[in-house]
Structure 1
């Protein structure tokens, strides 16, 4: 998969590296701004029960 992406990016190696870094940062931004806040109420991580025994 990464080879396919690398072959389809335009430019030489430096431009491909810069473009791939920008793409990774864009994906991380979208995940933190939209996907994770949407999915957080659906996950059971806050359903903690502790007894006072």
Structure 2
């Protein structure tokens, strides 16, 4: 699977490394800004009863 994704990236190895890092950072920020705030109210840690 990793070899398949690596072969999909364009260019020589240094460019593939830069593109791979950019994709990982992009996915991270997408999760932090869109996905996690959307599912946060659904998580059980908001129902705290002491």
- TM-score computed with the length of structure 1 as normaliser: 0.87
Structure 1: runs of 5+ lacking an equivalent: none
Q: Structure 1 runs of 4+ off > 4 angstroms? A: none
Rounded Cα–Cα distance in structure 2 between residues aligned with 1:27 and 1:15: 18
TM-score in terms of structure 2 length? 0.91
Higher radius of gyration, 1 or 2? 1
Give 5+ residue unaligned stretches, structure 2.
Answer: none
CA offset at residue 47 of structure 1?
1.1
